[in-house]
Amino acid sequence: MKILVCISHVPDTTSKINFTEGDTKFDTTGVQFVINPNDEFGLTRAMWFKEKQGASVDVVNVGGPETEPTLRKALAIGADAAIRVNTAATDGFAVAQQLAKVVQDGGYDLVIAGRESIDYNGGMVPGMLAGLIKANFVTNCISLEVEGTNAKAVREIDGGKETISTSLPLVIGGQKGLVEESDLRIPNMRGIMMARQKPLKVVEPVDANTETASVKFEKPAPKGAIKLIDPDNVEELVNLLHNEAKVI
Protein backbone atom coordinates (compact mmCIF):
# COMPACT_ATOMS: atom_id res chain seq x y z
CA MET A 1 0.00 0.00 0.00
CA LYS A 2 1.31 3.42 -0.97
CA ILE A 3 0.33 6.21 1.40
CA LEU A 4 0.67 9.95 0.86
CA VAL A 5 0.35 12.20 3.91
CA CYS A 6 -0.43 15.86 3.23
CA ILE A 7 1.51 18.17 5.54
CA SER A 8 0.55 21.78 6.20
CA HIS A 9 3.23 24.18 7.47
CA VAL A 10 1.42 26.22 10.15
CA PRO A 11 2.31 28.65 12.96
CA ASP A 12 2.65 27.17 16.42
CA THR A 13 -0.42 28.00 18.47
CA THR A 14 1.74 29.87 21.00
CA SER A 15 3.04 32.28 18.35
CA LYS A 16 2.17 35.97 18.53
CA ILE A 17 0.30 36.81 15.35
CA ASN A 18 0.80 40.13 13.54
CA PHE A 19 0.11 41.50 10.08
CA THR A 20 1.96 43.90 7.79
CA GLU A 21 1.32 46.04 4.71
CA GLY A 22 -1.94 47.45 6.00
CA ASP A 23 -3.07 44.13 7.50
CA THR A 24 -2.94 42.43 4.10
CA LYS A 25 0.06 40.14 4.76
CA PHE A 26 0.85 37.71 7.56
CA ASP A 27 4.02 38.69 9.42
CA THR A 28 6.23 35.61 9.81
CA THR A 29 8.90 37.42 11.84
CA GLY A 30 9.71 35.40 14.94
CA VAL A 31 6.98 32.84 14.25
CA GLN A 32 7.74 29.17 14.89
CA PHE A 33 6.20 26.84 12.30
CA VAL A 34 5.16 23.24 12.95
CA ILE A 35 3.37 20.31 11.34
CA ASN A 36 -0.35 20.98 11.35
CA PRO A 37 -1.68 19.00 14.36
CA ASN A 38 -4.42 17.25 12.37
CA ASP A 39 -1.78 16.18 9.85
CA GLU A 40 0.46 14.93 12.63
CA PHE A 41 -2.27 12.54 13.80
CA GLY A 42 -2.51 11.30 10.20
CA LEU A 43 1.25 10.88 9.86
CA THR A 44 1.38 8.86 13.06
CA ARG A 45 -1.38 6.57 11.77
CA ALA A 46 0.53 6.17 8.51
CA MET A 47 3.57 5.07 10.51
CA TRP A 48 1.42 2.34 12.05
CA PHE A 49 0.50 1.07 8.58
CA LYS A 50 4.16 1.17 7.62
CA GLU A 51 5.31 -0.82 10.64
CA LYS A 52 2.43 -3.31 10.82
CA GLN A 53 1.56 -3.78 7.14
CA GLY A 54 4.70 -2.78 5.26
CA ALA A 55 3.19 0.32 3.64
CA SER A 56 5.38 2.97 2.07
CA VAL A 57 4.78 6.51 3.31
CA ASP A 58 5.52 9.75 1.48
CA VAL A 59 4.71 13.26 2.68
CA VAL A 60 3.84 16.27 0.55
CA ASN A 61 3.53 20.00 1.06
CA VAL A 62 2.51 22.80 -1.25
CA GLY A 63 4.74 25.75 -0.40
CA GLY A 64 8.06 27.51 -0.77
CA PRO A 65 11.53 26.51 0.51
CA GLU A 66 10.62 27.78 3.99
CA THR A 67 8.41 24.69 4.48
CA GLU A 68 11.25 22.19 4.05
CA PRO A 69 12.19 22.04 7.77
CA THR A 70 8.63 20.91 8.47
CA LEU A 71 8.93 18.21 5.80
CA ARG A 72 12.29 17.16 7.26
CA LYS A 73 10.62 16.76 10.63
CA ALA A 74 8.05 14.45 9.01
CA LEU A 75 10.92 12.45 7.51
CA ALA A 76 12.56 12.28 10.94
CA ILE A 77 9.33 10.89 12.37
CA GLY A 78 9.57 8.05 9.86
CA ALA A 79 8.25 8.98 6.41
CA ASP A 80 10.23 7.47 3.52
CA ALA A 81 10.34 10.46 1.17
CA ALA A 82 9.05 14.00 0.84
CA ILE A 83 7.67 16.06 -2.03
CA ARG A 84 7.40 19.84 -2.09
CA VAL A 85 5.29 21.50 -4.77
CA ASN A 86 7.08 24.76 -5.41
CA THR A 87 4.25 27.28 -5.14
CA ALA A 88 2.60 29.28 -2.39
CA ALA A 89 -0.50 27.73 -0.82
CA THR A 90 -2.76 30.73 -1.35
CA ASP A 91 -6.04 29.05 -2.29
CA GLY A 92 -7.66 25.76 -1.24
CA PHE A 93 -8.77 24.72 -4.72
CA ALA A 94 -5.36 25.49 -6.22
CA VAL A 95 -3.69 23.43 -3.47
CA ALA A 96 -6.06 20.52 -4.17
CA GLN A 97 -5.16 20.67 -7.86
CA GLN A 98 -1.45 20.54 -7.08
CA LEU A 99 -1.95 17.59 -4.72
CA ALA A 100 -4.09 15.78 -7.29
CA LYS A 101 -1.19 15.81 -9.76
CA VAL A 102 1.16 14.40 -7.10
CA VAL A 103 -1.31 11.62 -6.23
CA GLN A 104 -1.87 10.68 -9.86
CA ASP A 105 1.84 10.66 -10.68
CA GLY A 106 2.67 8.60 -7.58
CA GLY A 107 -0.13 6.06 -7.85
CA TYR A 108 -1.04 6.34 -4.17
CA ASP A 109 -3.72 4.08 -2.68
CA LEU A 110 -4.42 6.10 0.45
CA VAL A 111 -4.13 9.85 1.02
CA ILE A 112 -4.21 11.03 4.62
CA ALA A 113 -4.79 14.73 5.21
CA GLY A 114 -5.90 16.70 8.22
CA ARG A 115 -9.55 17.67 8.16
CA GLU A 116 -8.37 21.29 8.25
CA SER A 117 -5.26 23.34 8.96
CA ILE A 118 -5.13 25.40 12.14
CA ASP A 119 -4.16 28.62 10.36
CA TYR A 120 -6.97 29.22 7.84
CA ASN A 121 -9.31 26.44 9.05
CA GLY A 122 -10.80 26.14 5.57
CA GLY A 123 -11.46 22.40 5.71
CA MET A 124 -11.78 22.31 1.91
CA VAL A 125 -8.69 20.65 0.50
CA PRO A 126 -9.22 16.94 1.34
CA GLY A 127 -12.74 16.84 -0.10
CA MET A 128 -11.79 18.72 -3.26
CA LEU A 129 -8.75 16.48 -3.70
CA ALA A 130 -10.93 13.37 -3.45
CA GLY A 131 -13.27 14.81 -6.06
CA LEU A 132 -10.43 15.62 -8.45
CA ILE A 133 -8.89 12.14 -8.29
CA LYS A 134 -12.28 10.37 -8.08
CA ALA A 135 -11.48 8.65 -4.78
CA ASN A 136 -13.71 7.81 -1.83
CA PHE A 137 -13.64 10.37 0.97
CA VAL A 138 -14.17 10.32 4.74
CA THR A 139 -13.72 13.45 6.84
CA ASN A 140 -13.63 14.00 10.62
CA CYS A 141 -11.98 10.58 10.71
CA ILE A 142 -11.07 9.24 14.17
CA SER A 143 -10.29 5.61 13.27
CA LEU A 144 -9.01 3.87 10.17
CA GLU A 145 -8.30 0.22 9.39
CA VAL A 146 -7.25 -1.10 5.98
CA GLU A 147 -7.26 -4.73 4.89
CA GLY A 148 -6.27 -5.30 1.27
CA THR A 149 -8.32 -2.84 -0.77
CA ASN A 150 -11.07 -2.56 1.85
CA ALA A 151 -11.16 0.06 4.57
CA LYS A 152 -13.24 0.71 7.67
CA ALA A 153 -13.35 4.23 9.05
CA VAL A 154 -15.05 5.87 11.99
CA ARG A 155 -15.90 9.53 11.84
CA GLU A 156 -17.41 12.02 14.24
CA ILE A 157 -20.91 13.25 13.46
CA ASP A 158 -23.31 15.47 15.38
CA GLY A 159 -24.22 13.62 18.54
CA GLY A 160 -22.12 10.52 17.96
CA LYS A 161 -19.91 8.48 15.67
CA GLU A 162 -20.47 6.80 12.32
CA THR A 163 -18.70 3.64 11.10
CA ILE A 164 -18.17 3.47 7.34
CA SER A 165 -17.05 0.63 5.09
CA THR A 166 -15.32 1.80 1.94
CA SER A 167 -12.49 0.88 -0.43
CA LEU A 168 -9.27 2.21 -1.85
CA PRO A 169 -8.38 4.61 -3.38
CA LEU A 170 -9.37 6.69 -0.39
CA VAL A 171 -8.80 10.20 0.94
CA ILE A 172 -9.42 10.88 4.61
CA GLY A 173 -9.58 14.09 6.60
CA GLY A 174 -8.11 13.03 9.93
CA GLN A 175 -8.29 14.69 13.31
CA LYS A 176 -7.59 14.18 17.00
CA GLY A 177 -8.59 10.62 17.85
CA LEU A 178 -7.12 9.01 14.73
CA VAL A 179 -4.34 8.05 17.13
CA GLU A 180 -3.94 8.78 20.81
CA GLU A 181 -2.02 11.91 21.70
CA SER A 182 0.38 9.72 23.67
CA ASP A 183 1.26 7.93 20.39
CA LEU A 184 2.51 11.09 18.66
CA ARG A 185 6.22 10.83 17.95
CA ILE A 186 9.03 13.23 18.72
CA PRO A 187 11.96 12.83 16.33
CA ASN A 188 15.03 11.40 18.03
CA MET A 189 18.62 12.07 17.02
CA ARG A 190 18.83 8.94 14.88
CA GLY A 191 15.66 9.93 13.04
CA ILE A 192 16.93 13.45 12.48
CA MET A 193 20.23 12.17 11.06
CA MET A 194 18.46 9.66 8.81
CA ALA A 195 16.06 12.36 7.57
CA ARG A 196 19.03 14.23 6.04
CA GLN A 197 19.66 11.26 3.76
CA LYS A 198 16.04 10.73 2.68
CA PRO A 199 14.88 12.18 -0.64
CA LEU A 200 13.08 15.52 -0.67
CA LYS A 201 11.90 16.12 -4.21
CA VAL A 202 10.88 19.58 -5.41
CA VAL A 203 8.37 19.60 -8.27
CA GLU A 204 7.11 22.57 -10.21
CA PRO A 205 3.40 23.40 -9.96
CA VAL A 206 0.83 22.68 -12.63
CA ASP A 207 -1.43 25.41 -13.94
CA ALA A 208 -4.22 25.76 -11.40
CA ASN A 209 -7.32 27.86 -10.94
CA THR A 210 -7.10 30.25 -8.01
CA GLU A 211 -10.65 30.95 -6.91
CA THR A 212 -10.08 33.03 -3.77
CA ALA A 213 -7.63 35.57 -2.36
CA SER A 214 -7.07 37.03 1.10
CA VAL A 215 -8.00 40.71 1.03
CA LYS A 216 -7.36 41.73 4.63
CA PHE A 217 -6.67 40.24 8.05
CA GLU A 218 -8.18 41.43 11.30
CA LYS A 219 -7.50 40.36 14.86
CA PRO A 220 -10.41 39.53 17.16
CA ALA A 221 -11.64 42.48 19.19
CA PRO A 222 -10.09 42.61 22.67
CA LYS A 223 -12.24 41.46 25.53
CA GLY A 224 -14.21 44.23 27.17
CA ALA A 225 -14.29 45.16 30.82
CA ILE A 226 -16.30 42.98 33.18
CA LYS A 227 -18.50 43.80 36.11
CA LEU A 228 -18.69 41.69 39.23
CA ILE A 229 -22.15 41.39 40.72
CA ASP A 230 -23.01 40.28 44.22
CA PRO A 231 -24.65 36.85 43.69
CA ASP A 232 -27.32 37.85 46.21
CA ASN A 233 -28.22 41.01 44.28
CA VAL A 234 -30.48 39.45 41.64
CA GLU A 235 -32.28 42.71 40.88
CA GLU A 236 -29.04 44.46 39.86
CA LEU A 237 -28.06 41.50 37.69
CA VAL A 238 -31.41 41.50 35.89
CA ASN A 239 -31.24 45.27 35.43
CA LEU A 240 -27.78 45.12 33.85
CA LEU A 241 -28.69 42.22 31.57
CA HIS A 242 -31.83 44.03 30.44
CA ASN A 243 -30.74 47.65 30.16
CA GLU A 244 -26.98 47.50 29.55
CA ALA A 245 -26.17 44.15 27.92
CA LYS A 246 -29.63 44.01 26.31
CA VAL A 247 -29.66 40.22 26.24
CA ILE A 248 -33.02 39.82 27.97
What confidence score (pLDDT) does residue 42 get?
97
- The four Cα atoms 185, 73, 116, 25 give a dihedral, to 10 degrees, of 140
Task: Report the chain's mean pLDDT, rounded to a whole number.
Answer: 94
CA 135/CA 128 separation, integer angstroms: 10
- Predicted confidence (pLDDT) per residue in 95-138, tens digit: 999 999 999 999 999 999 999 999 988 999 999 999 999 999 99
Most confident listed range (14-23, 39-48, 233-242): 39-48
Residues facing residue 190 across a β-bridge: none
Q: CA-to-CA distance for 127 and 213, rounded, in angstroms?
A: 20
pLDDT value of residue 226: 84
Please report the pLDDT score of residue 220 as a whole number. 87
- pLDDT exceeds 90 at position 222: no
231: pLDDT strictly greater than 90: no
DSSP notation for 36-105: -HHHHHHHHHHHHHHHHH--EEEEEEES-GGGHHHHHHHHHHT-SEEEEESS----HHHHHHHHHHHHHH
**What's the rounded mean pLDDT across residues 61-87?**
97
| pLDDT at res. 247 | 86
Whole-number pLDDT of residue 245:
83
pTM (2 decimals)?
Answer: 0.88
**pLDDT beyond 90 at 6:** yes
